[in-house]
Amino acid sequence: MLPTREKAEQILKEAQGCNPGPWGDHSRVVALCAERIAACVEGMDPEKAYITGLMHDIGRRFGVKHLGHVYDGYHYMMELGYDEAARVCLTHSFSTGNIEEYIGNFDISGEQQKEIEEALEKISFDDYDRLVQLCDSLSGTDGAVDMEVRMGDVKRRYGRYPQSKWDQNLALKKLFDEKAGRDIYEILPPDSKNPARGR
């Protein structure tokens, strides 16, 4: 189950009031990119793509956290009865499916980490999981950016970016280029203030 588009936008707005920051605009860019790409892929629902993209970082409502935002977002959406949104809160940070490749602090308990690992083991990624993973890796706060530029920025800020995660993100782009029948950079929102470059 998912919130409606209007409800999801309300949830995000309220969450930003609890923890103001650029993450809200990033979530909106992810949502718009996911919607645009899904509209070009046969069998995908652009509305679902938008809503799951909008909710992927909702765990940031509960403060400045790293892995904690995954755990918090998953539980928050489950508590509201939005299991499909909860799923993407869980999967968006793990394009390889390996929690050890998370980039950032492991700021949750061992028990909570085990809960995430066990939940991930039960999920076979679908196209919505993969699409939000893709859009998360190419969305800034003002618009879409070149994926390798964004990953390079993350690597500079955190001091690492696992090669397998880097390669998987590039593979996701290739996958959706093929599904959409064109370079996805061509179909991202045209009003991006920082359009993809260097592709």
Whether 159 maps to a domain, the answer reads yes
Task: Give buried/exposed letters for 108-147 (b at 16+ CB in 10 A, else e).
Answer: beeebeebbeeebeeeeeebbbbbbbbbbbbbbbebbbbb
* pLDDT at residue 28, as a whole number: 97
Whether 196 maps to a domain, the answer reads no
CB 177 within 8 A of CB 185: no
CB 132 within 8 A of CB 52: yes
Residue range(s) defining the domain that contains residue 173: 5-97+106-187
Whether 198 maps to a domain, the answer reads no
* pLDDT at residue 189, as a whole number: 75
Domains of the chain: total? 1
Whether 19 maps to a domain, the answer reads yes
Whether 34 maps to a domain, the answer reads yes
Q: Identify the CATH number of the domain in which residue 57 sits.
A: 1.10.3210
AA identity, residue 97: G
Q: What is the pLDDT along the chain (199 residues), one digit of tens a residue?
A: 999 999 999 999 999 999 999 999 999 999 999 999 999 999 999 999 999 999 999 999 999 999 999 999 999 999 999 999 999 999 999 999 999 999 999 999 999 999 999 999 999 999 999 999 999 999 999 999 999 999 998 899 989 999 999 999 999 999 999 999 999 999 997 654 444 433 3
Whether 182 maps to a domain, the answer reads yes
* pLDDT at residue 155, as a whole number: 92
pTM of the model: 0.94
Whether 148 maps to a domain, the answer reads yes
Residue 64 CB: number of other CB atoms within 10 A? 11
* pLDDT at residue 196, as a whole number: 41
- Contacts (Cβ under 8 Å, ≥6 apart) of 20: none
* pLDDT at residue 77, as a whole number: 98
Whether 195 maps to a domain, the answer reads no
